[in-house]
């Protein structure tokens, strides 16, 4: 750790001043008001920690995230560690140039906020560092202010210095500034402009320190945003020259291309960021973030529920240090869990949910293993988190009960999974042996333990190390490798180039210009001119035959994938040569431009006039599914209540998928009511109204459903059954579906024809997913359900009149086959549940009947054996009986043994046609002949195999002479059994 933060007990006067003036709430509010009131910044609420519409990021991991722009980053680096700031998902579209030109965000110039951030995956992953020191966190708050093409370096530096020295009262004598010194090999000059800005502000020359690429040049990856940064450092001790101790690694900006070349970006913007936790540690004069009032209530609560001493803040090896590590891990992770769950991210199996599951399970291990806290302690900490953070983030208060429930359920599952995992390990790996070298532990088993059960790999490695083994790491890495989907997208340079060339945004109005005539949808012809062509990110004037390219037209009727709706399919044709076709493979949207990914079978150049041909069946099918999605969302809220929120959806031509929040699980009665409500609207053939409305007006509509997205202004309002004008005038109190949506919809609901929920399951605690069919697919699902229902009813009737073991066993097999069909065939989910219940009952009945008939058959066979052998006790009973069922043979052996308890009993059944021989045996307890050895010897003699225990065993083989086999089996037992008088 940098000596700047290792000094203890210094600055008593400053400590009293800071502690008496600043709480965490005051520090946060001071920052926001400073930029709002004194510098006219727009206050923007924190976005949820799950980024929307950005597949490149699992969770918002900083105040800013992955953008490319010429900027100066002013970061208060209070402790050596991960940079406090990078790029905001919230503002990424602005900086990449992809923002919708009609969105309010496109007008942002000065913005301030306190952003919730989670760093636990990807390049910036602090998970394993949390607890080892006193400043790393998985969840933290980033205080940030941004300028988008407004002020730049000089103003940003002055604001930052004023905030720290005048408003937070930091002594300038304790502050140092670093800047980028340049790098000749990369062709990057020293940032002399920033150095002179700090000199003009009044920072002494000796406190303005140059650093190179390692310390003051930031990059997110091998390509993308990168560049120099300027940082402010604070010396806890003061009264000395601490310049030699300043040494950090952080950003500024020019974009780094894949060929390692550097290009300045189109727009100058500024981001000033301060991590609240580290800032607060300075203002409360402590060297540890965990000693601030953001954490001390949690530390006290953890002490109350644990069986360990109080938190002492140690960063040291050994048992005492491990306890304090556990305190920090649990305190940090419970904050992360609460914030993520409140924002709709629950522990799960993929993406952000998988990250959160790892965080939860790490917290459980430290809580139970190190702090020795009882099960349920983790969830009991949530109210303390809400008490500390709830005022700033009120969603924590609203979701407190749900957060506790999710944590408790997942803790219980994890502790159960640990026990199951250890059993699997014991089964896979034999006990340690001094006589052999153990092989590598199979990677597929390790991956299954980790992926499916959440078994920690570090715990697995410890267990294997004790047994002289290790995991096959090469294969495990291969199993963990993931493939990323490519996107139809243009980078910020390409978008800026289009704007500089004066190429107007694509006119997308034609995609909504369709009508309904005599019950048939009509999609008018659309003509468009090629305005730009790209191969990759390279703009070209012409594309040769055989190349794939991105085509930008002046107008388009194609829908680009967004809002959960799949992109349109179809092709383009030349105006002058209608037979020259260009298949459209994918359609995307970036910065107001619609991008058509086209396979150019023929040459194509800028200025060409094209005709656009939609796959009308595919488009109409998507329209049906999208309108049905709105009705489903409305019906779910009607049945489950207004607290039910959409958590994701996908609208495709063949089905729709809808995720929603729910306490508990969806009952079949509730599901039936949801389907009934939707069917009523479909049958009524209600009109669907779509209208562009000013965003401010749209938000006043009663019952409006929205999701956490940035909407354009004006925004498209989609209402079913009630005109948008009536909703704006509040002239109706009817229950209705109304949402903000850019998708394409039906004009009347009757075209949906039918709606069937074919699947419903909980994805994670509190989130359910339904899969829905409509139209002909729904009809076929109902017909398939009816067929299966009739087959189940027929089987049920035949079960009642069945007789004999063979008949009953055949029916039991049919039950299994029907169960598989009901489980896998798309049918109404309500019907599936009903049929599954009937089939489970039939399975129990057939199993019971088969067991009863087998016992009856075995009783008859046992009586014959005993009569033939005589009633007197015999030492060894070996005989052949007539049955084709090994289970019956086992039951027969058991009954003979029960009536002749001192005998060694082996019965065989020789199948005359095939020569196959069944074998079963049972011996008394403490017998010198083991049943498993006896059966194995006999079946091996027959060229087969056997298995069992010392008391009972069974097996099979092949014999042409059953008499010889019986004699051999009997002689084997006699040879290993001493005479009675010995």
Per the annotation, binding residues for Zn(2+) are 626, 630, 741, 745
**DSSP label of 890:** H
Annotate 195-228 with DSSP letters as a single string: HHHHHHHT--GGGEEEE-HHHHEEESSSSEEEEE
Residues 6+ apart with CB under 8 A from 582: 551, 571, 572, 573, 598, 599, 600, 601, 602, 604, 610
Task: Say which residues have a Cβ less than 8 Å from residue 779's Cβ, sequence separation at least 6.
Answer: 753, 754
Q: If phi over 0 gives left and psi between -120 and 50 gives alpha, with beta otherwise, what is residue 127?
A: alpha
Annotated binding residues, written as ranges, equal: 626, 630, 741, 745
Q: Are 135 and 81 a contacting pair, CB within 8 Å? A: yes
Cis omega (within 30 of 0) for bond into 137: no
The answer to whether the beta carbons of residues 918 and 909 sit under 8 Å apart is yes
Distance CA 177, CA 194 (A): 10
- Answer for the pair 906, 930: CB distance below 8 angstroms, yes or no: no
Nearest to 891, CA basis, from 918, 927, 913: 918
Q: Quote the DSSP letter at residue 287.
A: S
Helix, strand, coil proportions of the chain in percent (round to 5)? 40, 20, 35
**Chain mean position to CA 897:** 57
Gap between the Cα atoms of 463 and 480, Å rounded: 21
Give the torsion sign (CA, 888, 893, 894, 898): positive
371: left (phi over 0), alpha (psi -120 to 50) or beta: alpha
Structure tokens at 667: 């009952």
- Report d(CA 963, CA 177) in Å as an integer: 99
Name the packing angle between helices 319-342 and 382-389 (round to 10°).
70
Question: How is residue 4 annotated by DSSP?
Answer: G
| CB atoms closer than 10 angstroms to residue 920 | 27
271: which 2 tokens? 């981001």
CA dist 921 and 906 (Å) reads: 4
Torsion sign (Cα): 312, 314, 320, 324: positive
Q: What's the CA gap between 614 and 604, in Å, rounded?
A: 19
Q: What is the 3-state secondary structure (H, E, C) of 8-65?
A: CCCCHHHHHHHHHHCCHHHHHHHHHHHHHHHCCCEECCCCCCCCCCCCCCCCCCCCEC
Q: Does residue 714 have a cis bond before it (omega within 30 degrees)? A: yes
- Contact (CB, 8 A) for 110 and 75: no
CB 946 within 8 Å of CB 907: no
**Tokens 């800013």 found at:** 64
Token pair listed for 680 = 């009523």
> How many Å apart are CA 324 and CA 334, to the nearest integer?
16
Q: Which residue has the tokens 């493979």?
A: 585
Give SS3 for 603.
coil
Strands 139-148 and 110-118: antiparallel
């Amino acid at each position: 750790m940098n000596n700047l933060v290792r000094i203890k007990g210094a600055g008593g006067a400053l400590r009293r001043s800071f502690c008496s003036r600043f709480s965490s709430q005051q520090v946060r509010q001071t920052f926001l008001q400073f930029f709002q009131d004194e510098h006219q910044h727009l206050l923007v609420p924190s976005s949820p920690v799950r980024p929307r519409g950005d597949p490149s990021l699992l969770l918002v991991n900083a105040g800013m995230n992955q953008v490319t722009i010429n900027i100066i980053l002013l970061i208060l680096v209070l402790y050596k560690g991960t940079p406090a700031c990078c790029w905001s998902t919230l503002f990424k579209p602005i900086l990449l140039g992809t923002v919708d030109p009609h969105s309010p965000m496109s007008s942002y110039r000065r913005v301030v906020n306190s952003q919730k951030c989670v760093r636990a995956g990807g390049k910036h992953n602090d998970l394993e560092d949390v607890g080892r020191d006193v400043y790393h966190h998985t969840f933290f708050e980033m205080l940030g202010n941004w300028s988008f093409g407004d002020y730049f370096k000089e103003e940003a530096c002055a604001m930052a210095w004023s905030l720290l020295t005048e408003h937070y009262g930091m002594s300038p004598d304790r502050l140092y500034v670093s800047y980028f010194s340049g790098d000749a090999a990369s062709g990057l000059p020293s940032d002399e402009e920033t150095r002179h800005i700090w000199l003009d502000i009044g920072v002494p020359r000796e406190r303005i320190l140059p650093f190179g690429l390692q310390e003051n040049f930031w990059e997110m990856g091998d390509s993308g945003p990168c560049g120099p940064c300027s940082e402010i450092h604070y010396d806890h001790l003061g009264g000395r020259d601490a310049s030699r101790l300043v040494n950090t690694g952080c950003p500024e900006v020019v974009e780094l291309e894949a060929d390692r070349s550097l290009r300045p970006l189109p727009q100058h913007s500024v981001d000033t960021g301060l991590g609240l936790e580290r800032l607060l540690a300075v203002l409360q004069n402590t060297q540890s973030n965990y000693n601030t009032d953001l954490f001390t209530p949690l530390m006290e609560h953890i002490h109350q529920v644990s069986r360990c001493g109080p938190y002492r803040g140690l960063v040291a090896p050994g048992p005492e240090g491990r306890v304090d590590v556990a305190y920090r891990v649990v305190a940090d992770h419970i904050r992360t869990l609460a914030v993520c769950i409140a924002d709709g991210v629950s522990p799960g199996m993929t993406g952000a949910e998988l990250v959160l599951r790892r965080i939860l399970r790490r917290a459980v291990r430290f809580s139970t293993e190190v702090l020795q806290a009882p099960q349920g302690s983790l969830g009991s900490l949530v109210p303390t988190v809400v008490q500390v953070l709830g005022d700033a983030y009120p969603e924590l208060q609203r979701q407190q009960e749900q957060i506790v429930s999710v944590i408790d359920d997942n803790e219980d599952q994890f502790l159960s999974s640990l026990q199951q995992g250890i059993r699997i390990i014991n089964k896979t790996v034999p006990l340690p042996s001094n006589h052999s070298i153990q092989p590598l532990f199979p990677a597929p088993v390790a991956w299954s333990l980790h992926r499916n059960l959440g078994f920690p790999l570090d715990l697995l490695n410890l267990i294997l190390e004790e047994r002289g083994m290790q995991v096959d790491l090469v294969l495990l890495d291969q199993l963990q490798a993931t493939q990323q989907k490519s996107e139809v997208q243009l980078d910020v340079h390409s978008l800026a180039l289009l704007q500089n060339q004066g190429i107007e945004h694509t006119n997308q109005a034609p995609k909504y210009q369709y009508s309904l005539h005599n019950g048939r949808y009509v999609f008018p012809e659309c003509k468009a001119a090629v305005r730009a062509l790209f191969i990759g990110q390279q703009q070209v004037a012409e594309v040769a035959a055989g190349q794939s390219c991105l085509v930008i037209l002046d107008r388009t009727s194609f829908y680009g994938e967004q809002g959960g709706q799949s992109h349109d399919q179809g092709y383009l044709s030349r105006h002058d040569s209608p037979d020259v076709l260009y298949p459209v493979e994918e359609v995307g949207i970036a910065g107001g431009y619609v991008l058509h990914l086209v396979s150019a079978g023929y040459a194509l150049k800028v200025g060409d006039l094209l005709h656009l041909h939609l796959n009308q069946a595919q488009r109409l099918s998507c329209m049906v599914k999208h309108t049905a999605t709105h009705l489903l969302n409305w019906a779910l809220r009607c049945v489950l209540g207004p607290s039910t929120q959409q958590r994701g959806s996908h609208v495709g031509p063949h089905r729709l998928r809808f995720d929603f929040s729910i306490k508990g699980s969806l009952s079949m009665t509730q599901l039936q009511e949801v389907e009934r409500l939707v069917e009523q609207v479909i049958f009524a053939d209600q009109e669907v109204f779509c209208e562009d409305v000013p965003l401010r007006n749209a938000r006043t509509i009663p019952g409006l459903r929205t999701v956490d997205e940035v909407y354009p202004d004006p925004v498209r309002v989609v209402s079913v059954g009630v005109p948008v004008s009536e909703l704006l005038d509040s002239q109706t109190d009817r229950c209705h579906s109304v949402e903000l949506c850019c998708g394409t919809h039906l004009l009347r609901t009757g075209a949906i024809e039918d709606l069937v929920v074919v699947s419903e399951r909980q994805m994670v605690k509190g989130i359910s997913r339904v899969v829905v069919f409509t139209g002909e697919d729904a009809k076929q699902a109902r017909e398939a359900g009816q067929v299966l229902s009739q087959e189940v009813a027929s089987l049920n009737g035949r079960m009642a009149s069945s007789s004999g073991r063979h008949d009953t066993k055949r029916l039991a097999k049919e039950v299994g086959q029907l169960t598989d069909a009901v489980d896998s065939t798309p049918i109404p989910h309500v019907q599936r549940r009903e049929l599954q219940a009937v089939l489970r009952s039939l399975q129990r009945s057939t199993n019971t009947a088969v067991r009863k008939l087998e016992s009856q058959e075995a009783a008859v066979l046992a009586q014959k054996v005993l009569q033939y052998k005589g009633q007197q006790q015999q030492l060894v009973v070996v005989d052949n009986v007539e049955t084709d069922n090994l289970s019956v043979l086992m039951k027969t052996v058991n009954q003979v043994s029960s009536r002749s308890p001192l005998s060694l009993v082996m019965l065989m059944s020789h199948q005359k046609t095939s020569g196959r021989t069944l074998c079963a045996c049972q011996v008394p307890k403490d017998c010198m002949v083991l049943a498993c050895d006896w059966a194995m010897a006999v079946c091996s003699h027959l060229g087969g195999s056997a298995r069992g225990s010392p008391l009972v065993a069974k097996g099979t083989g092949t014999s042409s002479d059953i008499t010889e086999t019986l004699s051999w089996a009997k002689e084997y037992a006699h040879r290993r059994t001493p005479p009675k008088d010995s």
